């Protein structure tokens, strides 16, 4: 199992557009083999911080996701609504 935390600061005036676009990405991603969960969260203290918390069966499944048509299409589009770079970490559970 691997977890991904992908955190973005989204431009305040683009939040709704960002969420609309994310819906397509989420719908397609949840159908993928090896996708255990793929959810979008908002910081309760700063609404412009939007973060995917993802769980994948293994690194292979995550690799396939990052090569999928919907990832290659939507992820660069989402980047345009972001302030600065996003922050992505891939994790294994140790405790």
DSSP code per residue over 61-84: HHHHHHTSHHHHHHHHHHHTTBSS
Site residues (CB under 8 A) for its own copies, limited to 32-91: 39-45, 49-51, 53, 59, 89-91
CB of 60 to its own copies, least distance (A): 13
CB of 80 to its own copies, least distance (A): 19
Alpha-carbon distance 32 to 83, whole Å? 29
CB of 67 to its own copies, least distance (A): 18
Q: Which stretch binds its own copies (CB under 8 A): 19-27, 69-77, 78-86?
A: 19-27
Alpha-carbon distance 95 to 82, whole Å? 33
């Amino acid at each position: 199992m691997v977890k991904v935390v992908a955190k973005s600061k989204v431009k305040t005036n683009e939040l709704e557009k960002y969420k609309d676009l994310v819906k397509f990405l989420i719908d397609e991603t949840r159908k993928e083999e090896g996708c255990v969960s793929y959810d979008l969260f908002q910081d309760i203290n700063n609404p412009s911080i939007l973060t995917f918390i993802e769980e994948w069966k293994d690194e292979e499944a995550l690799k396939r996701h990052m090569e999928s048509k919907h990832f290659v299409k939507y992820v660069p589009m989402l980047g345009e609504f972001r302030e600065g770079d996003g922050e992505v970490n891939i994790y294994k559970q140790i405790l």
